[in-house]
């Protein structure tokens, strides 16, 4: 299969496939006589595995670890379970953060007095006040489930 074909079969963009190769999640395929990448069914299987993991919001390091663990199929699956448990804890923490965010946004929306001008807007006043509590990410308390992943964006 050429890259366009594997992209079509997996519904993963060509650029993403190349990126996964570059970072080592997807093995680099051999090249055919004309120089095109020649993907095999194993590449498609790996690509679909990566896609499923990404759909579960797993970080690259988590996926890399799962791939590493899959290379020893006879081993105890305790490490896989631990990785998933860690990811689940991360998801639960993120849900708490999102719930707090939702509550803060609802409070801001209630502050709107339907005044009519931006200057009189309760939402703008709320965003300008120090009454809003910083999120754990702003306070630097946020720990990632895998160190170095899901870093907060730069302001």
What angle, rounded to 10 degrees, do the helices at 60-70 and 41-55 form?
130
Q: In the predicted model, what is the mean pLDDT of residues 98-114?
A: 84
* pLDDT at position 117 over 60: yes
Binning pLDDT at 50, 70 and 90, where does residue 128 land? confident
The pLDDT-based confidence of 131 (bands split at 50, 70, 90) is low
Instruction: List Cβ neighbours of 16 (8 Å cut-off, separation of 6 or more).
Output: none
Does the pLDDT at position 92 exceed 50? yes
**pLDDT at residue 130 in the model:** 61
Where are the domain boundaries for CATH 1.10.1660.10 in the chain? 3-70
* 3-70, CATH topology level: Multidrug-efflux Transporter Regulator; Chain: A; Domain 2 (1.10.1660)
Whether the full predicted model's pTM is greater than 0.85, yes or no, is: no
């Amino acid at each position: 299969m050429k890259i366009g074909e594997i992209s079509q079969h997996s519904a993963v963009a060509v650029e993403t496939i190349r990126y996964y190769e570059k970072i080592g999640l997807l093995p680099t395929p051999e090249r055919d006589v004309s120089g095109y990448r020649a993907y095999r069914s194993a590449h498609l299987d790996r690509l679909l595995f990566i896609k499923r993991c990404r759909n579960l919001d797993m970080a690259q390091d988590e996926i890399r670890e799962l791939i590493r663990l899959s290379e020893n199929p006879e081993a105890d699956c305790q490490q896989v379970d631990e990785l998933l448990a860690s990811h689940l804890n991360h998801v639960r923490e993120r849900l708490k953060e999102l719930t707090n965010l939702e509550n803060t946004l609802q409070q801001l929306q209630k502050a709107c007095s339907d005044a009519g001008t931006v200057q009189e807007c309760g939402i703008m006043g709320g965003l300008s006040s120090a009454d809003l509590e910083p999120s754990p990410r702003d306070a630097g308390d946020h720990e990632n489930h895998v160190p170095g992943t899901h870093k907060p964006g730069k302001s």
